[in-house]
Structure 1
């Protein structure tokens, strides 16, 4: 067991992360291939957001009971539906955005386990969040959005990074902008650009990829996050990764 009552209390007390702590934890656990821990985070967050308890050992045990009851009867739902759907969407979107950064299989496993313990009224409907591309104008708008997001993150060095990727393999840059940044990472109807930035940082830390992490730590500042919030996000992802047994080759990149 990774998420003990004491560890959940520790995570929830991050002073600058607010409600982002459980999404940071969800993403880190997904990348570390520990999806079985995600239902605890999900129901813990739902309980707190619905005023059903404050972070404590007692709440942890109530959450465990709720997971068991939902697994036995998916129609039961002790939460307010509207706020519960918004929170559920944030969990699902956070995991989806890891797919391009740490692998689709891990994202699938986390989303499947989350679904199994999500009350039926809070499950995703058949409607997708992203509108279908029905014209060239739609495609151009999506690509423009992706490029704007890219340029905001990388700022003055955006062109240099594009050239480096293109010189490695022209298809690398084309794939990155057309299939990762434009339709996936820049989409902001569920997560804000700042929330997505913290998701990306949390996704990169357990993978020991300092060159990419350095760019996104600075990119978080370019997106308007303050230095202490970015540092707290980094520290939380490192701590959870350690709980999962992660060992880095060198010091994790920092600001």
Structure 2
């Protein structure tokens, strides 16, 4: 997603779904990949997600694409707006504690609406999984942190944010917010440990290297190609 490479999404899907696996598994994989793409908006911006998700949907077999959810799950309303904000604050606090208040105030010093938008529109409405959802896919606490790390690492130039989300991943184990995720405890602890952290970062670097054919990240090139 960060490399704006729809063809790589198709290759990833084909690698993750074998001909022997059940069709339901293929649908679940596609739903998970779409959810990852949506959450990438918080780190990469909207355009690359639009490009990649449009192309990804078009590349899927019609038998799979026709089974993907068409029900939106993040529509705000007077009844759920407080819950959305509460989920956002919970995720924010989990990732950034014990500096959650200090960071909020620092962002507000740059622009008073900056932390407001980040907390409510991103952490609340997008990055936290919708409550009670029965369609689509949930990434969970650990999966969401991995998305953040992967996007930011692939961008380059945002080292402090990469570090903060690596620590945010570790804190999911410390505060127990990982427990509703699909990962078992052994897998969660490995991902949040030194070895798992190193694997995530190295994997992102290797993927960027392969997609770019050695040229590196194209997220913010010195000269734009329109």
- Bin the TM-score by the shorter chain: 0.7 to 0.9
Query: 1:175 corresponds to which residue?
Result: 117
Q: Which runs of 4+ in 1 moved over 3 A?
A: none
Whole-angstrom CA distance in 2 between matches of 1:185 and 1:39: 24
Query: 1:121 corresponds to which residue?
Result: 63
Whole-angstrom CA distance in 2 between matches of 1:95 and 1:195: 12
Query: 1:226 corresponds to which residue?
Result: 193
Alpha-carbon RMSD across the aligned residues, in angstroms, is 1.8
Gapped runs of 5+ residues in structure 1? 1-29, 53-78, 249-255
**Among 132, 142, 149, which residue is 1:194 paired with?**
142
Distance apart, 1:233 and its partner CA: 0.7
Q: Give aligned pairs, total.
A: 188
**Among 90, 96, 99, which residue is 1:157 paired with?**
99
TM-score normalised per structure 2 = 0.78
Query: 1:37 corresponds to which residue?
Result: 8
Larger C-alpha radius of gyration, 1 or 2? Answer: 1
**Among 132, 152, 177, which residue is 1:204 paired with?**
152
Whole-angstrom CA distance in 2 between matches of 1:134 and 1:200: 27
**Among 73, 76, 95, which residue is 1:133 paired with?**
76
C-alpha contact (below 8 Å) 2:3/2:217 kept by paired residues:
no
**Among 170, 182, 207, which residue is 1:240 paired with?**
207
Gapped runs of 5+ residues in structure 2? 131-136, 174-191, 219-226
Whole-angstrom CA distance in 1 between matches of 2:205 and 2:123: 25
Q: Does 1:214 align with 2:163?
A: yes
Whole-angstrom CA distance in 1 between matches of 2:149 and 2:125: 19
Give the alignment of 1:44-123 within 5 angstroms. Answer: 44-47=15-18, 52=20, 80-123=22-65
Give the number of the structure with larger relative contact order, counting CA–CA contacts within 8 Å between residues 6 or more apart.
1
Query: 1:145 corresponds to which residue?
Result: 87
- In the TM superposition, what whole-angstrom CA distance separates every residue of 1:137-193 from its partner, at most 9, and x where no partner exists? 411111101100011001101111111100000111011011111011111651111
Distance 1:247 1:191, change over 3 A: closer
Distance 1:132 1:33, change over 3 A: closer
Distance apart, 1:226 and its partner CA: 2.6
TM-score normalised per structure 1 = 0.69
